[in-house]
Chain A
Amino acid sequence: MSGGRGWDLLVEGCTTVAAPGTDAELLARVVAWAVRPRRSLEAIRRSCRDAGATLLRAETAAIRDVVADHVDADDAAAATPLVQMWAAAGVRAALVGDATYPVRLAEGWPETDGPTLLAWRGAAVPDVPTVAIVGARRATGYGTAVAAWLSEAAAAAGAHVVSGGAVGVDAAAHAAAVELPGGTTVVLGCGHGVAYPRPHARPGGLFDRVIDHGGTLASELLPQEPPHAGQVRARNRIVAGLADVVVVVEGGERSGALLTAGAAAERGRTVLAVPGDVRADGSVAPHRLLSEGVAPCTGPPDLLQALGGPRRGETVARGVAAGGLSTLPDDVHALLAARWPRPVRIDELARTTARAVGPLLAAVTRARVAGELADGPEGVRLRRAPG
């Protein structure tokens, strides 16, 4: 289908929601397809898999084939309020294989079960070394403390932390990393239109803090989808898919953390388990993994080593903003510092430092992305007083 006012409204909404590099019209088709209970986003992946779509480049083409001509005006009408809900919440969405869709999650798709569509609030998931810190909701003080300890060390070293949005180990991991260079991504078990879990979703709660500090709230679900057990389990595979290393901190016999570990192993990612108190129920999961040959995580060095040891200098851009190291060449930084807080024009920067405009502009972009530089009609200036 195409044309028609209903369809136009849907595409208009999708244009707002589509992340850079995402085809708004294809997004509209995918959403319109998925609003019907018989069809699902997961079914798109299965069809693509059955069609033998494996080439990384062919992903969107395969999706297009699946959803082509299957959506009608009613579907579009049903999808439009959902997309508008996303738009109102400032959600961005990308399809698997798109530029902002996390690379790790797309790996091996459609054989691997990365979601066809990912919707997020806040920044796009960064492409940096990433650790998933997972564990039970009913965590012990030991569990939350270890989660925070590992998370903080990883994020301070520039690694990104990812976990679910639950209370307990998940929340401890996010809270410890949220203001650090690596930043954090929360994977929700419900749509963006559902405020769950309440304490984290309320204004000024953990989720707001994550977003305010440049982190991400991600969900594969349409906005109105409520959380239920099946979706929480499905969520775990995304957590695993986003991570280079999965650390299981605590979990009971039937813990979702075991599922996360399993999904990570299937993708060939490293799994670590934190040894616990042998008397605690929450130690069952990590201890089972340990007995199956998973390496123990006895502290930050184990984790950082598994991550390939990201060094401080290599942190993500927004780490620099927080960390104080400049992304700018010394002479450029010196000139801006001398002028601070007054802005300097690119022309003057180029002339004074005798630098070519091209590389200079590239450096300026990096510094703006890192939050180090602000730009305006009068030129660029350092955001913070030079130290």
Chain B
Amino acid sequence: MGANHGVLATVHGVALVGLEPYRVTVEASLASGLPTLRLVGLPDAAVREAGDRVKTGLQRSGFVWPGERLVVNLAPADLPKVGTAFDLPLAIAVLIATGQVPRSAIGTWACGEVGLDGSIRAVPGLLPITAGARGFGAGRLFVPDVAAREAALVSDIEVVPVHDLAEVGRVLHGARPRVAEPAAIATPGPGPDLAEVRGQHLARRAVEIAAAGGHHLLLSGPPGCGKTMLAHRLHGLLPMLEVPAAMEVAAVHSLAGERAPDAPLSLVPPMREPHHTVSSAGLIGGGSGVPRPGELPLAHHGLLLMDELLETPRFVLDALRQPLERGSVIITRARARVTYPARVQLVAATNPCPCGELGNPTRSCSCRPDAIERYRARLSGPLLDRLDLQVEVWPVERDQLVGPPDGESTVVVARRVAEVRHRAAERWGSGVLSRDVPAATLRRSVRGAALRALASDLEQLGASARGFDRCLRVARTLADLAGDDVVDVEHVQEAVAYRLSSPVMAT
């Protein structure tokens, strides 16, 4: 083994800030001096420990740790490098610098944690890391074999699965690498069916509109009336994701460690149900180092169910507003500003009042009016404005509950939803939902008479101007459900009705 004095062994890895990939270059060289390891480039504690892991791992795999001074630089220095993903690039750089693998290995791309036994272990975010490597022009990337199928979902890059450092050495010496099959695409079984919901004509209609236009939905009603049941069935109405969207979802989940590395790629839109005691960091994301994505980004391209919305603290609700508007969350840290995608459909459920009986025809509400006002006022105006559809849900009668199904099934309604999504995509571009279309753009597809009717209806009903755009968005979806290209008075009039009746809630 001839040590390559003076050789600058360069190997590449990828660091993630949020989902944003950055190229990291690991440079190793030998110098005369005491056999020490010097790591530069402001690595955090985990990277410093990498030195120890890699040293032991190499030795256990039959390689030799150099008897000279080893200098390793991780560049760029100002990038926070967290986690264990740079173990493998570091190990390869050392192997090159010490002449244990050919110099042709210079420029290799690699990602993975090295175990003390020399095995290569999975790291979070392999999917976005692989996509990033491809973006930087990497031809092939060494990855932990347990997670190789996830990485192989990324096309136009050769994914080399490696089980341990010994296998890495063999491949770098010219052995033929194994081939990683891309993860399978999951074909989900049917979820709970809409036909199981008895009665609830109004709420079913709202659920259908919400699914079709991606509108945020508020269900208000006493416990046990079927709010959760309806929300879960809304999830079943959503169309399957396109593969690129599913990859984005998988990337966030991969990064959050919420995804088994060998899991198939799921086309089912995610559904997250945080408890109402969730913190704002839990919603948005947080944690030390590079913040982990919270419930909002985890629900990217899917549903976020918030039960007991009015039990959720006000400042947590406030934290919801901006992400819903922007379709992403931004977490600012001293050293980094991290953005995660969060195009999320919010389905919120709430009791009508603290005791839950307000409006019940048979039982009386025991709340004082000012208590109800305070309770409902917790839903800040601007957040309420984003809840395009607001409906009151009431328990259905016993005989209806035990009777035969009296409504359409998921399959039937999902077909209409898919048609509306298709029309919207043709009009506004792929993936654009009525929920997201700017008001000015929406207006162009609204008949003038309908605009005036909406304005004067809201005026007559004493509603604030802020309800205007919300009604337009819903009316747009209603027209699409009816197969009409132009939004008409009838659609607008229906849209006006999807708001809670209490003067406190009315906007």
Q: Spell out A's residues near B (CB within 8 Å).
A: 15, 18-22, 24, 92, 98-100, 103, 123-124, 126-127, 214, 317-318, 345-347, 350-351, 357-359, 361-366, 368-369, 371, 375-378
Chain A residues whose CB sits within 8 angstroms of the CB of B494 once the complex forms: 358-359, 361-362, 365
Residues in B lying within 8 Å of A, measured CB to CB: 199-202, 204-205, 352, 358-359, 361, 392, 394, 396, 448-449, 451-452, 454-461, 463-465, 467-468, 478, 481-482, 490-491, 493-494, 496-498, 500-502
The residue in chain A whose Cβ has the minimal distance to the Cβ of B482 is A358
Query: A365–B496 contact, CB under 8 A?
Result: yes
Option from A127, A345, A362, A376 in Cβ contact (under 8 Å) with B490: A362
In the complex, A108→B456 CA distance in Å? 22
Residue from A22, A100, A123, A345 within 8 A of B452 (CB atoms) = A100
On whether A124 and B459 interact (CB within 8 A), knowing A359-B490, A365-B493, the answer reads yes
User: What B residues does A103 contact at CB under 8 A?
Assistant: 448, 452
Which residue in B359, B459, B461, B496 is a CB contact (below 8 Å) of A378? B359
Pairwise interchain contact B461-A368, C-beta atoms closer than 8 A: yes
Q: Report whether A377 and B461 are in contact in the complex, using a CB–CB cutoff of 8 Å.
A: no
Complex CA distance for A375 and B481, rounded to whole angstroms: 26
- Contacting residue for B497 out of A20, A351, A364, CB 8 A: A364
Which residues does chain A contribute within 8 Å of B199, judged by CB atoms?
347, 351
CB distance from A141 to the nearest CB of B (A): 37
* A350 to B396 Cα, complex, angstroms: 13
**In the complex the two chains form, is B493's CB within 8 Å of A124's CB?**
no
A100 to B458, CA, bound (A): 10
Measured in the bound complex, the distance between the Cα atoms of B490 and A358 in whole Å is 9
The B interface, classified by DSSP as helix, strand, loop or mixed, is helix
Query: Which residue in chain A gives the minimum CB-CB distance to B406?
Result: A351
Minimum C-beta distance from B501 to chain A (A): 5
| Across-interface contacts of A92 in B (CB, < 8 A) | 459
Structural contact, A126 and B456, CB atoms closer than 8 A = yes
| Distance (whole angstroms) from the CB of B448 to the closest CB of chain A | 8
Contact A351 B465 (CB under 8 A): no
Since A124-B455, A362-B497 are in contact, a sample of 16 more A-B pairs with Cβ atoms closer than 8 Å, ordered by chain A residue number, is: A20-B454, A21-B455, A99-B454, A100-B459, A127-B452, A350-B202, A357-B204, A358-B482, A359-B490, A362-B493, A363-B493, A365-B494, A368-B461, A371-B460, A376-B359, A378-B361
Contact in complex: B459, A123 (CB < 8 Å): yes
Contact of B455 (CB < 8 Å), options: A99, A317, A377, A378: A99
Among residues of A, the one whose C-beta sits closest to the C-beta of B400 is: A351
A347 to B200, CA, bound (A): 6
Q: Are A99 and B501 in contact (CB under 8 A)?
A: no
B465 / chain A contacts, CB cutoff of 8 Å: 15, 18-22, 24
CA of A9 to CA of B263 in the docked complex: distance in angstroms?
Answer: 54
A381 to chain B, nearest CB (A): 11
Quick one: which of A98, A318, A362, A377 contacts B502, CB cutoff 8 A?
Answer: A377
Which residues of B are found within 8 Å of A371, using beta-carbon distances?
A: 460
Contact of A346 (CB < 8 Å), options: B201, B448, B458 = B201
Contact for B457 among A19, A22, A214, A365, CB less than 8 A? A365
A56 to B463, CA, bound (A): 26
Select B456's contact among A100, A347, A368, beta carbons within 8 Å. A100
Q: Give chain A nearest CB distance to B57 CB in angstroms.
A: 56
Docked complex Cα distance between A124 and B481 (Å): 31
* Contact partners of B201 in chain A: CB under 8 A: 346-347, 350-351, 357
Q: Separation in Å of the A72 CB from the closest CB of chain B?
A: 27
Q: How far is the CA of A18 from the CA of B466 in the complex (A)?
A: 10
Counting chain A CB atoms within 10 Å of each CB, which of B449, B464, B468 scores highest?
B468
Q: Are B455 and A100 in contact (CB under 8 A)?
A: yes
* B452 contacts A376, C-beta separation under 8 Å: no
Q: Which residue of A lies closest to B456 (CB)?
A: A124
A20 in contact with B463 (CB, 8 Å): yes
- From the candidates B456, B497, B502, name the one contacting A361 in the complex (CB within 8 A): B497
B493 touches A361 (CB 8 A): yes
B452 cross-chain contacts in A, Cβ below 8 A: 99-100, 103, 127
Inter-chain CA distance A280–B457, complex, in Å, is 45
Residues A377 and B358 in contact, CB atoms below 8 Å apart: yes
Query: What are 20 pairs between A and B in contact, CB < 8 Å?
Result: A15-B465, A18-B465, A20-B465, A21-B465, A21-B468, A99-B455, A100-B452, A100-B456, A346-B201, A347-B394, A358-B205, A361-B493, A361-B494, A361-B498, A365-B457, A365-B493, A366-B493, A368-B460, A377-B500, A377-B502
Contact yes or no, A20 B493, CB < 8 A: no
A22 to B497 alpha-carbon distance, docked (Å): 21
Most B CB within 10 A of own CB, among A99, A124, A361: A99
Instruction: Flag if B497 contacts A369 (CB, 8 Å).
Output: no
Cβ contact of A375, chosen from B455, B498, B501, cutoff 8 A: B501
Task: State A59–B352 Cα separation when bound (angstroms).
Answer: 43
Contact for B459 among A20, A346, A358, A362, CB less than 8 A? A20
Return the chain A residue nearest B451 by Cβ.
A99
